[in-house]
Amino acid sequence: MRPVRVAVLVSGGGTNLQMLLDALADSEVARVARVVSSDAAAGALERARRAGVPTTVLADPSDATQVIASLGDAGLVVLAGYLKQVPPAAVARFRLRLINIHPALLPAFGGPGMYGRRVHERVLASGAAISGATVHYVDEEYDRGPIIAQWPVPVRPGDTPETLAARVLDVEHRLLPLVVLELAKRGVPRAPVRLSAGGSAFVTGDDVALDFDWGG
């Protein structure tokens, strides 16, 4: 089976992109084929160039024709720190092949304007005892598409938005490549996939592997 060609949409520094580039570098099931940015100054572009992956900068991220053309023959499209809304026509073209990672446990703490530091500020203000990362399908509404996988992290006493963001980002870096590889292994099914945590997992920490029973 030809590796699934993965296109990654970015807007920022690209640490999630870097984890994908590293995890898929020698993969037989998926390859990062192109990186598309909403911002010419995004640090993620330099990471792509260092990895020899073609890049595109969108002149108008709200233009569906441009977005669809930039994604080309991608079999799977990943939003990794992408801050723009994907135009409806592009969502329709890549339905169930378009996924996003969000630094909170959706459906809470998501929606328009909910990105970066603001997400973690809201989690801390809510008094929640856990936060985490979510990978979900992208539809016509911000952060509302069917959830594929989630992994929690504890909110610790004395946490600041920065310390919580760092703990969540660590889990994002492990969760996103796992989900991409699993979807690719399955040929990117045209029906929503849900991946459930395995056994008595949900214990985080450096030595704990993210453990999923690949349901279904």
Residues whose CB is less than 8 angstroms from the CB of residue 125 and which lie 6 or more positions away in sequence, other chains included: none
Q: Nearest Cα to 176, choosing from 213, 210, 212, 135?
A: 135
User: Which member of 12, 61, 132, 177 binds ligand GRF (CB under 6 A)?
Assistant: 12
User: Which member of 9, 36, 80, 149 binds ligand GRF (CB under 6 A)?
Assistant: 80
Nearer to ligand GRF, 51 or 198 (CB): 51
Asked if 201 touches ligand GRF (CB under 6 A), the answer is no
Q: Which two tokens stand for residue 125?
A: 């203000």
Residue 169: CB minimum distance to ligand GRF, A: 5
Residues whose CB is less than 8 angstroms from the CB of residue 68 and which lie 6 or more positions away in sequence, other chains included: 89, 90, 93
Considering only residues 81 to 140 of the shown chain, the ones binding ligand GRF according to CB under 6 A are 81, 101-103, 115
Site mask for ligand GRF (CB under 6 A), range 34-53, x = bound: ----------x---------
Tokens 């030595």 appear where?
A: 207
Residue 24: CB minimum distance to ligand GRF, A: 15
Nearer to ligand GRF, 1 or 19 (CB): 19
Alpha-carbon distances, residue 69 vs 36, 56, 74, 211 (angstroms): 11, 10, 10, 36
User: Which member of 5, 6, 8, 14 binds ligand GRF (CB under 6 A)?
Assistant: 14
Residue 173: CB minimum distance to ligand GRF, A: 8
- By CB atoms closer than 10 A (0-12, 13-18, 19+), residue 213 is exposed
Known catalytic residues are 102
